[in-house]
Amino acid sequence: MAAATNELTVGFATALKTLKSDTKSLASNLVLGILAVAGCALVLASSSIPQAFLGTAVAGLAYLVILWLKRRSLRRVNRGRLLATYVSLRVVLAITAAGFYARVVPDSAAWSWAALGLTTIVVLQEPVLKRILGGKRQQAANLPGAAATPKRPFAAGNITRNTLAIIGLAVMLAVFRAPGWIVFILGLAQLVPVFRVLNYAFVSLAVSKRNYDRLPSLLKSHKPEFAVYYAALKGAEYQLGMWLPYLERLDRPFVVITKNPATVPVIARLTSAPVVSVMEGAVGALDRLVVPTLQAAYYVQGSPGNAAFQRYRKLTHIWLNHGDSDKEANFHPRHATYDKLFVCGEQGVARYATHGIDIPREKFELVGRPQVENIEFREDAIVPAEPTVLYAPTWQGGRPSTSYSSLPIGPEIVTALLARSATVVFRPHPLSYGIPADKKQVLKIHELLRKDAQTSGRKHVFGRAAEKDLDVAGCFNLSDALVTDVSSIASEYLASGKPFAMAAITSGGDAFLREFPTAQVAYVIEKDLSTLTPALEGLLGADPLAAKRADRRRYCLGDIIGPQAAEPFVEASLAIIDGVAAAKSSVG
């Protein structure tokens, strides 16, 4: 009941926020429209140059406001939020600029009207171009025989930016009474990118059609024995990236099927296996990808969209997840719909029962955690007097109940570590950069470490050095201790034998320890920082939780860590794939 009430409250708040945003947008568009039309009317009806200047100034206010409102999109046109925006306003502004040019430089009237006429045509075709570019396409990569989708020559938003630039330049050239042929050349030049984008759009559509028609036969030739189905739009780099190397170790042909075409090039950079998208809206598009050789399907992300592929009951559907932690994503009721659940150790099984989710024991496979194979284990993990501490906060999650990130108190945690002469390795969750408040905290911590490095001489590791040059295992091996949140980072760090602290953000005290069992072997930092000092003393001092951590490591990660950590996963996977194939063969 409480959950339903909370969901209703959140939905109502979201609706109010949307209404407020829509009302604000409507009001601003109305004001801009009035300014642009009034200015245009003054220019076209002007009988003198001062009157034309006045009209242009009025319309110019609308122009400047558009530049301000779209300042981020104008700087980052590759984000796709600029094309076909303010179409009617830009048409009015183009007419205003042409009329102003004709009034101020009468000899160039024909040039100016021709140039801004071309600009108007470009503006008016933008919605059509946007629809063509957004059309459904069959994407495929790394699949022998499939035609490569051409790369977009540049962001289509440049076309919109060009029209705004020409309108502004036309007014400036008129003020300085420059010859009209100059603005006409600019008008002609803007057609080049339009034709290039149009060419890309039509060629890519043709390639898409050809790939769609040939895809079933190409996949049959490839003979994939299992598929990896991915239904999310963001996160493929780390969600799929952490599993693809181990799936490749199965040494069996496979295919990655992704629901969203935009993720194909991202995933293709992570693997040499074929990556294909589902043709959105096409009847039977997914059916065409399920070829007879497929035996199993893996899932690394808990999107409800996975159900579309789970309906193919001849396959064995295996839930992998992309991390092992006490987060809700590790014990969702939806997981009961999979045929097999691969978990690291007994803790992975217990989570479901603890949260009232009944899943038959035979559905679980204990496969350890392959990703810990490169983590160096210290039998006697003694923290030195001047330690290296990894601070690896998670992201804030999709809703308040899963907002485990300690980034809001991150600067205070890092400051306390620096006060204890620690060298800090700072590796935030990659999704934190997409959240303005979290990104601000990340940059604040970067600045703290940068300043301390200058004064203390300690070589802190952060930014690209920690997030790109090193992988997670590399950061673990570099550290003597860890500060993290409720995340798979804590579970995986158990493989190192070294001490770690966890931030209690969504709850605290005994409730936190009950809700997140891994915290029972961690030094807990409360959200109000009341336990920061004793937590760091235990973490960097006597480490009284060492023995408990060893027991928890086996319970959480299984018996095998180190270089052989991937073997249970490989063996369990091949047993399923080969077992299903043998069963099908005997039935046939």
pLDDT in tens, 10-68: 444 455 555 566 667 788 889 999 999 999 999 999 989 999 999 999 999 999 999 99
Mean pLDDT calculated for residue range 490-517: 91
Cβ atoms 500, 520 nearer than 8 A: no
Same domain, residue pair 403 and 535:
yes
CATH number at residue 298: 3.40.50.11720
For residue range 136-172, list pLDDT tens digits in order.
Answer: 889 999 999 999 888 888 889 999 999 999 999 999 9
552 shares a domain with 440: yes
Say which residues have a Cβ less than 8 Å from residue 588's Cβ, sequence separation at least 6.
Answer: none
Read off the pLDDT of residues 219-275 as tens digits, 9 standing for 90 and up.
999 999 999 999 998 889 989 999 999 999 999 999 999 999 889 999 999 999 999
pLDDT, one tens digit per residue, over 279-296 is 877 888 999 999 999 999
pLDDT number for residue 277 = 94
CA-to-CA distance for 285 and 73, rounded, in angstroms?
A: 34
Q: Is 145 part of a structural domain of the chain?
A: no
- Verify that 330 and 290 share a domain, yes or no: yes
Residue 318 pLDDT > 90: yes
DSSP string, 329-342: GGS-GGGGGSSEEE
Distance between CA 93 and CA 44 in Å, rounded?
Answer: 12
Any domain includes 196: yes
- Look up the domain containing 119 and give its range: 23-140+152-204
Q: Which of 347, 368, 389 is the last residue of a domain?
A: 368
- pLDDT confidence bin for 122, thresholds 50/70/90: very high
Backbone angles phi, psi at 473, to 5 degrees: -60, -40
pLDDT given at position 398: 64
pLDDT averaged over the chain? 90
- What is residue 580's predicted lDDT score, i.e. its pLDDT? 60
**Alpha carbon distance 413, 436 (integer Å):** 20
- Which of 189-203, 421-435, 442-456, 567-581 bottoms out in mean pLDDT, i.e. has the lowest? 567-581
Taking only the tens place, the pLDDT of each residue in 177-193 is 999 999 999 999 999 99
Whether 6 is covered by a domain: the verdict is: no
Shared domain for 379 and 497, answered yes or no, is yes
Per-residue model confidence (pLDDT) at position 399 = 65
Q: Tell whether 422 and 533 lie within a shared domain.
A: yes
Whether residue 231 is found in the same domain as residue 378: no
Among residues 350, 368, 386, the one where a domain terminates is: 368
pLDDT at position 401 is 63
In a domain, 5, yes or no: no
CATH code for the domain in which residue 491 is found: 3.40.50.2000
CA–CA separation, 552 and 491 (whole Å): 9
Same domain? For 81 and 227 the reply is no
Q: How far is it, in rounded angstroms, from Cα 119 to Cα 236?
A: 40
**Residues 362, 385 within the same domain:** no
Q: Please indicate, yes or no, whether residues 524 and 382 belong to a single structural domain of this protein.
A: yes
In percent, the amount of the chain with pLDDT more than 90 equals 71
Residues near 539 by beta carbon (within 8 Å), at least 6 away in sequence: 383, 389, 481, 483, 499, 500, 501, 523
Distance CA 297, CA 317 (A): 5
Start-to-end Cα distance in the chain: 51
pLDDT for position 420: 95
Strand partners, 500: 482
Distance of CA 74 to the CA centre of its chain: 21
* Confidence grade of residue 585 (pLDDT, cut at 50, 70, 90): very low
Same domain? For 106 and 64 the reply is yes
Paired with 227 in beta bridges are 255, 297
Mean pLDDT of 75-91: 88
| 447 within domain boundaries | yes
Contact 486, 533 (CB under 8 A): no
- Among 58-67, 293-302, 513-522, 566-575, the minimum mean pLDDT is found in 513-522
Instruction: Please check whether residues 165 and 263 belong to one and the same domain.
Output: no
For range 387-398, the mean pLDDT: 90
Determine, yes or no, domain membership for 580. Answer: no
Q: Which two tokens stand for residue 546?
A: 């060492």
Residue 238 resides in a domain: yes
Burial of 11 (0-12, 13-18, 19+ CB in 10 A): exposed
Final residue before a domain boundary, out of 302, 335, 368: 368
| DSSP string covering 527-551 | TTSTTHHHHHHHHHTT-TTHHHHHH
Count: domains in the chain: 3
What is the predicted pLDDT for the residue at 18? 57
Instruction: Give me Rg for the CA atoms of the chain.
Output: 30
Structure tokens at 237: 């780099």
Query: Which element (helix H / strand E) includes 446?
Result: helix 436-456
Is residue 16 domain-resident? no
Fill in the DSSP letter of residue 229. Answer: E
* Domain match, 199 and 241 both: no
Coil, strand or helix at 483 = strand
